[in-house]
A = this chain, B = another copy of it.
């Protein structure tokens, strides 16, 4: 059953998952990435990828779902950062 504690965890997961989305939009609009740390997005991409592998191995749908979305956004930001260096 979905109690308020699970709902709190799901809200937390949703927010941290979608948080990078406005950054991707901002870069697409401005084509500027100078102030963004390349190292942050390299570490984050590897980290999210490992979360995804971990989720697949332990067959955890919330971990898989959250990290598939985050991986897509984070890889986009990393590509844009390299492109608009």
Contacts and interface: CB of A to CB of B under 8 A. Distances in A.
A85 to B, nearest CB: 12
B5 A54 contact: yes
B57 A15 contact: no
A35 B33 contact: yes
Given A35-B30, A37-B23, A50 B8 contact: yes
Contact of A37 (B16, B22, B37, B41): B22
A47 interface: yes
Interface string A1-32: 00001001101111110111111011100101
Interface of A: 5, 8-9, 11-16, 18-23, 25-27, 30, 32-37, 39-41, 43-44, 46-48, 50-51, 53-54, 57-58
